[in-house]
Amino acid sequence: MNVSGRVAIVTGGGQGIGKAIAEKLASYGADVVVVDVNLEKATEVSEGIKRMGRRSMALKVDVVSTQETEEMAEKVFKEMEAIHILVNNAGITRDGLILRMKEEDWDAVINVNLKGAFNCTKAVLKYMTKMRWGRIVNIASVVGVMGNAGQANYAASKAGLIGLTKSVAREFAARNITCNAVAPGFIETAMTDVLSEQVKTDLISKIPLGRLGGAGDVATGVLFLASNASNYITGQVLNINGGMAM
């Protein structure tokens, strides 16, 4: 699973799963642009990647902004001379039962998780099309496949991301650009730290492998889908969930 000489953009790369993906791609040879709304965290990750001997940049980008994502792609192509891999990982939650869910919580989650991926995808496709090679990996979720009480906005955004994945896969296959999704189950990060011990225990009882996943478990799946090892795979959803949904 070699990604040597590839230039990758990882959104939401400042912490958690995005950080693990950025570091995994770098450790397998890629130059990595770490994109996040939190520039301080993105810079820390990017500095670590440079210490590994790879080229890296940290960029402050809100993926919801069409202008910022277009400028991001332009800047990366100009400075790194290529864009081979895009990982749409930036995501948020604003949980609540539907009857109590505020309109702004619905909009915020759909905007970051779904519109953000659309913006970044559209921005990089221009360059990937020129190079006739590209790998786009979207970080969906098990709840986009199964649904989840209290997460209508989040589940809808992740199910939407799966639809986006399959549509991009169909539109760009002829240009040698693949687009796949990874659907993680419950992974130990800041996003799941907020769950109570009781909720975590209940969740674990529904996971055949008997534990929450690690960010590295997700990063390995992304590496596979970003590398030449997955050349004949497009429009697919790789479930990394300890067997929680089969």
Residues carrying an active site annotation: 154
Token pair in block for residue 38: 């939190």
Nearest distance from residue 175's CB to ligand NAD, in Å? Answer: 26
For residue 71, what are the contacts with CB-CB under 8 A and spacing of at least 6? 61
Sequence-separated contacts (24+) of 38-45 with Cβ below 8 Å: 38/14, 40/14, 41/14, 41/15, 42/13, 42/14, 44/14, 45/13, 45/14, 45/15, 45/19
Nearer to ligand NAD, 16 or 242 (CB): 16
Q: Which stretches of the chain bind ligand NAD, using CB under 6 A?
A: 11-12, 14-18, 36-38, 41, 61-64, 89-92, 112, 116, 139, 141, 184, 186-187, 189-192
d(Cα 218, Cα 214) in Å, to the nearest integer? 7
Residue 160's closest CA among 228, 106, 80?
Answer: 106
Nearer to ligand NAD, 99 or 193 (CB): 193
